[in-house]
Structure 1
Amino acid sequence: MAGGGGGGAAPPPKQDELHPHPVKDQLPNISYCITSPPPWPEAILLGFQHYLVMLGTTVIIPTALVPQMGGGNEEKAKVIQTLLFVAGLNTLAQTLFGTRLPAVIGGSYTFVVPTISIILAGRYSGIVDPHEKFERIMRGIQGALIVASTLQIVIGFSGLWRNITRFISPLSAVPLVALAGFGLYELGFPGVAKCVEIGLPQLILLVVFSQYIPHVIRTRHVFDRFAVIFSVIIVWVYAHLLTVGGAYKNAPPKTQSSCRTDRSGLVESAPW
């Protein structure tokens, strides 16, 4: 039986090496990317809208914690001012030296539960003066935050967290984000229920401006891009008209403090 030609089968062709996808300067269906920022007037409006979005979460934290600490409107105003100032510094540092994401670094709800445990500590229960109690609790919270942040700095700069994240799936962050988001319902929606005639129109207008009007008016992305600004302005004017019109003149004090536009007490209590 005659044999074939010498040599074995030809080796398979060498597979091309895998290369990452090329970086795109402009993503599809995205108006503004890192290399294509919006013009300055629109950027200022978008930044102000982002400020309005984070302002609610910034106000909720002191509103829920300061009364438990023994503070009043003056202390609440100082805490809100401090949160806004530190959030601005952190945001500037993040955009200049950090990941440069278009995000505002505000207060974190992950610290609310440990803060409440500090507030309810027994060593503060014997303090009678509310102002002294507020200062003592605030010092305890500040010390705990300093220690916690020091631990985070050590873990971050030592590279330990980078080694840990290799064994953690990105899906593991989903329960953490979900639990943090669900925690807002306990603080946010009861506040809406205290004045449903103002809170409910705000939610409805926000959905209408962001989800429905863009499908009707397709010329420019104005209503969906500035949905928060439009809805907040309309609802605030509506609430102010109810206030000056005497709609809450005979309402209970809790309803007036939640619905009227002149009963927050923050501006009057601010040092400036």
Structure 2
Amino acid sequence: MAGDGVENAKPPQKQEDLQPHPVKDQLYGITYCLTSPPPWPETILLGFQHYLVMLGTTVLIPTMLVSKIDARNEDKVKLIQTLLFVSGINTLFQSFFGTRLPAVIGASYSYVPTTMSIVLAARYNDIMDPQKRFEQIMRGIQGALIIASFLHILVGFSGLWRNVTRFLSPLSAVPLVAFSGFGLYEQGFPMLAKCIEIGLPEIILLVIFSQYIPHLMQGETCSNFFHRFAVIFSVVIVWLYAYILTIGGAYSNTEFNTQISCRTDRAGIISASPWQ
């Protein structure tokens, strides 16, 4: 009997044959993880949506800097293009060599206060040529960021941050992230108020698509579809709404600042691009 039991025993499973448990068996509410990525069509749409989300900060920060420098639209375009390019490079490095989280490494608002101190430095007041002044300020900002990045590299490669995170909990991390984001309200909501008929519908539609419609839809597929692509739906609808108002002449006789904030053809970014 003992011999039969040994003969009928299954061979031990090889390490490479081991498969992870389905994602839903790991964490409730998690559909995809590192070992089970979404299909390519959904991945492309989610990536484009993430691009739309980060585009606000990518455009907002150069707009704030350029307004303090009194630079041209061409200079703002250069800043936006530089941020997009560097964000793409950093995201690729993070995806292949970093944490591999589905996140875009974009511009950080945390550096804006110190960057503003460089922009408003007195040593640039003697430069009369706006283009040369812009270039000198950008060189100063780049040099400061390079020096500051060495501190990040030192903390990361030395393992110091790993020891610090042991003492951090979600209760302490959430206020830190929240306070960093709350700083954008000072810039974002006054800009939204400049064109309330465009900004307010965007916020309302985003809340409806992300928080209400998924609970009203029957079936998990439809619910997840509206929940995951709420930003794309709201941005497309509101942009078409703004475009209709623009071509319909709703802002033809309004003030110049209102046209800059509300019209879809007054940003000056596309027309100032080198490839235009």
One-letter code aligned to 1:247: A
Q: Counterpart of 2:109?
A: 109
Q: Counterpart of 1:261?
A: 264
Alignment of 1:60-209 (within 5 A): 60-169=60-169, 171-209=171-209
One-letter code aligned to 1:105: I
3-state SS of 1:266 partner? coil
- Cα offset for 1:149? 0.4
- Cα offset for 1:25? 4.2
Q: For residues 28 and 161 of structure 2, what CA distance do their matches in structure 1 show?
A: 34
C-alpha distance after superposition, 1:52-71 (max 9, x if no partner): 01111111100111221232
- Cα offset for 1:176? 2.1
More moved, 43-52 vs 121-130: 121-130
Q: For residues 168 and 201 of structure 1, what CA distance do their matches in structure 2 show?
A: 38
One-letter code aligned to 1:179: F
- Cα offset for 1:41? 0.6
- Larger % of helix: which? 2
Percent identity (aligned): 68
One-letter code aligned to 2:81: Q
Alignment match of 1:235 (pick from 220, 230, 238): 238
More moved, 153-162 vs 220-229: 153-162
Q: For residues 218 and 78 of structure 1, what CA distance do their matches in structure 2 show?
A: 46
Q: Counterpart of 1:19?
A: none
Q: Counterpart of 1:250?
A: 253
Residues matched between the structures, number: 250
- Report if the CA contact (8 A) 1:25-1:33 is conserved: no
Q: Counterpart of 2:8?
A: none
Give unmatched runs, 5+ long, in structure 2.
Answer: 1-19
- Cα offset for 1:166? 4.1
Give the TM-score, by structure 1 length. Answer: 0.88
- Cα offset for 1:163? 3.6
- Cα offset for 1:82? 0.6
1:34 paired to 2:34: yes
Runs of 4 or more consecutive aligned structure 1 residues displaced over 6 Å after TM superposition: none
Q: For residues 90 and 99 of structure 1, what CA distance do their matches in structure 2 show?
A: 12
RMSD over aligned Cα, in angstroms? 1.5
- Report if the CA contact (8 A) 1:49-1:228 is conserved: yes
Q: For residues 148 and 30 of structure 1, what CA distance do their matches in structure 2 show?
A: 36
Q: Counterpart of 1:13?
A: none
C-alpha distance after superposition, 1:168-189 (max 9, x if no partner): 5554333321211110101111
Give unmatched runs, 5+ long, in structure 1.
Answer: 1-22
More moved, 73-82 vs 212-221: 212-221
C-alpha distance after superposition, 1:71-91 (max 9, x if no partner): 211000010011001101111
One-letter code aligned to 1:261: T
- Cα offset for 1:151? 2.0
Structure with higher Rg: it is: 1
- Cα offset for 1:223? 1.4
